[in-house]
Structure 1
């Protein structure tokens, strides 16, 4: 008979043996040592995709999934996943700047590109403008990788600029434009330049300077689609740009190139034995959210997701060499799935009736103002357009009151409009009639907004591929950059 003491000893030995066997059977992920939570000690990534949805957080993502579900199914509760929301590794990042819990794109972009915090409005330097923060794109170029920067807004805007420029203000557009050709990066594509000849339009053209430094500058669809590796360094600007040198909102795009087209072409041009780094920004998600235009927002998130699909095609061919990271720099608009008027119900399918962005509708409003004058506005004139362009066929007396008041404001010259707090809360500095139309449609769909600016909420991170597992958890936006640098095998600059 086994004694009680020996029985416990045998149980301990058997238990230890079982634990050892189970541990050996489970694949072990690379683990960072204490104090180096961003370290990665596995195989390094040869191809790195960094997708940044400007202004995109969970509300924009969830709304798009619900909207996509309404398009693809007749089931009332169907939600269709996006390409990146099924990535195996997911985390959350905080977004504050050094001087505010609510960041702008310059400060957030600096953190995401370099791993350093800075103040709002500041572009890849410290708040005192004494220290330049090197981005992972610059490090990749130094390492011998090819580098591409793509954006649906102007390529001198804050998010793309933090990867190649260093300025005390994000509004130094001419200096930023010159930094494009100084960077030596291989592929810039999407939007144009806001001030290629300076604020006073009296400086040497930044694009001509780029040509002198070896860049091929193309701005026709045929030229862009015909680009090949023999063309060398390229700046590809979409022809027929929309307002502020940006690509069209997806809801307005007709035959123009898409963000996915520019991503696909970038992959073709950048692919080489030394690997590549490509940052792709869905910049107009942010702009649509600033204007509280839900239909335009979700269409641009879908366009962003289509660009990610191009990276996934490449990943399928190189799964053991590729990393794809998708995140946002901050949330914009205080978007929510839920509005007091619809209580516990949503009717997101209603925004599918919208056929154009607020920006295109603004053009109609301005043309009408020119025709009828300051006192000639009549809501009855707009009812067919509201039905055809927004699906607004059932307007309450309160809806009509709001629309009539907004139309009266829109008929005034912008310089004559009220500048008080109430007016700002109603229209946010946008065209009053356009803003009221989209607000009413969004509210009927059960979608709410709290601001025309950014918010300070945390933003999700999605990763797939080499090293993706270290993006799980809750961390700061600077850590996103540090994690990526570790997987790329480039050294974070203290």
Structure 2
């Protein structure tokens, strides 16, 4: 599991971060508060720094990292896991190991509700961050009437400041979060139209997962990759090709060569040594975008969200650490541009209702148990479950794989927290029978949905059991209404202190950078 491999890197990042530390919109037609920049009808969530102080420095290089689905539970679980792995075997808790951005000198919090719900989606929350406007869930940079388009911070910086722009995501590049920095669509599902806007944006650097519906919903349109090439983009779909990309190539569209589920990056748990990680795409982005005028780079850790939807804590933690390692690349860049660089790390919403603690373990946690997970739920589905159905594999043989890949077993010594109880074994047997009998059908009863969500019964039950035996639990398969953290380091960092609406993330960046709507 990649969790072990990243421990040393994260410990080193803590030392590095420690040495380096030292205009909002409203919903359509709604009056705006002159004091907070929020809708007048909004709850009393006050921004402590709604306007830039005179002394705030304007950055030339801006990194905005968005952990999709990442709130306090996700990065704290990753930090606690690293601490558990680093603890001595003397029974004394040694504490956690903060991810690099957790050591940033400024930390704030942002509420995430949108015009639809207190449990918003990625399209509306990314719209709030990129434009300063609330909108409906599922809508990208349009108002609630779908008649007014909002200009994004990235578009404004390109048009008004001649900044170079980069958009990176570990999921599809026309998925909601990356799309919210260049597209304007009433529906996040308009993948082809979003892809057309990607091509038309003229942004200098796109890198990430494959474009969804690249030839349209009916496969009858010109490929988006061909359109990109016609528009002057160098389209690269191999790692060898990506390694050769330089700033001299001009506009670049890089698609990861080793795509996994839904044409996104592989989960960090599944990424083979040598395959590029999110951090590698950030490093290449700096190489392409670096110039004397300035650049803006948005980086999304999208598979944090996907892992949380599936209630896979091990994969959640691994991808959260992968995002932190991508932040480390920006921190390294800032060493040479300390007075000119701003790094902001936040989330768009929380996913899964993740919490550290479980009823079955009371006050105890056994987070090191998660190191036994060698594979994500998605890869287990594709590489194992499909064959179980095909070969009608017995439950006894499935249990052998469960022990090898997740550490859960039926026998063990006294105090072995990975041994399945009779009750847990019963849950696993029922899930196995459901998986084997339904051949992929997801028409569940209410009770079954609570157990499995829309996921493979066997796979999600395995991760639930490992989560719970580790002292981790989830409350949902969807998003929740938790606020997200906002960490900042560099020029203008002080603006991001306080507790405020997520639209203020845009307002603070726009104020610092001197762009106007």
What is the TM-score when the length of structure 1 is the normalising length?
0.90
CA RMSD of aligned residues (A): 1.3
Distance 2:329 2:75 in 1: 19
Q: For residue 18 of structure 2, what is the aligned residue in structure 1?
A: none
1:341 is paired with a residue whose SS is helix
2:453 is the counterpart of 1:428: yes
Distance 1:334 1:416 in 2: 25
2:158 is the counterpart of 1:158: no
Q: For residue 341 of structure 2, what is the aligned residue in structure 1?
A: 322
Distance 1:481 1:400 in 2: 49
Q: For residue 208 of structure 2, what is the aligned residue in structure 1?
A: 190
Does structure 2 retain, via aligned residues, the 8 Å contact 1:111–1:477?
Answer: yes
1:112 is paired with a residue whose SS is helix
CA displacement at 1:388 relative to structure 2: 1.1
Q: For residue 65 of structure 2, what is the aligned residue in structure 1?
A: 51
1:152 is paired with a residue whose SS is strand
Distance 1:365 1:150 in 2: 32
Q: For residue 92 of structure 1, what is the aligned residue in structure 2?
A: 109
2:385 to 357, 365, 382: 365
| 1:247-266 equivalences in 2 (<5 Å) | 247-254=265-272, 255-266=274-285
Does structure 1 retain, via aligned residues, the 8 Å contact 2:182–2:198?
Answer: yes
CA displacement at 1:168 relative to structure 2: 0.4
Distance 1:415 1:46 in 2: 51
2:469 to 435, 444, 465: 444
Distance 1:299 1:486 in 2: 35
1:381 to 397, 409, 434: 397
Distance 1:195 1:115 in 2: 29
CA displacement at 1:78 relative to structure 2: 2.5
1:116 to 108, 111, 133: 133
CA displacement at 1:76 relative to structure 2: 3.2
Distance 1:450 1:70 in 2: 23
Q: For residue 180 of structure 1, what is the aligned residue in structure 2?
A: 198
| Residues 1:417 and 1:174: Cα distance change in structure 2 (over 3 Å) | closer
Q: For residue 453 of structure 1, what is the aligned residue in structure 2?
A: 478
2:298 is the counterpart of 1:269: no
Distance 2:125 2:442 in 1: 34
- Say how many residue pairs are matched: 456
2:148 is the counterpart of 1:131: yes
Distance 2:461 2:441 in 1: 19
1:85 is paired with a residue whose SS is helix
Distance 1:382 1:368 in 2: 8
Deviation per residue, 1:418-468 (Å, 9 max, x gap): 421111111001000001000001001010110000000111100001111
- The structure whose Rg is larger is 1
Distance 2:86 2:321 in 1: 13
CA displacement at 1:371 relative to structure 2: 0.9
Distance 1:225 1:69 in 2: 34
Distance 2:441 2:309 in 1: 23
Deviation per residue, 1:244-290 (Å, 9 max, x gap): 11001000000321000000000111000110000000000000000
Structure 1, 403-412 or 68-77: larger mean CA deviation:
68-77
2:51 is the counterpart of 1:39: yes
| 1:268-347 equivalences in 2 (<5 Å) | 268-347=287-366
CA displacement at 1:415 relative to structure 2: 5.9
Deviation per residue, 1:55-95 (Å, 9 max, x gap): 00000011000111123332534310111000000010000
Q: For residue 28 of structure 1, what is the aligned residue in structure 2?
A: none
2:371 to 352, 355, 380: 352
Q: For residue 169 of structure 1, what is the aligned residue in structure 2?
A: 187
2:287 is paired with a residue whose SS is helix
2:504 to 448, 468, 479: 479
Name structure 1 gaps, 5 residues minimum: 1-32
Does structure 2 retain, via aligned residues, the 8 Å contact 1:238–1:256?
Answer: no
Name structure 2 gaps, 5 residues minimum: 1-33, 38-48, 410-418
Distance 2:182 2:85 in 1: 39
1:239 is paired with a residue whose SS is coil
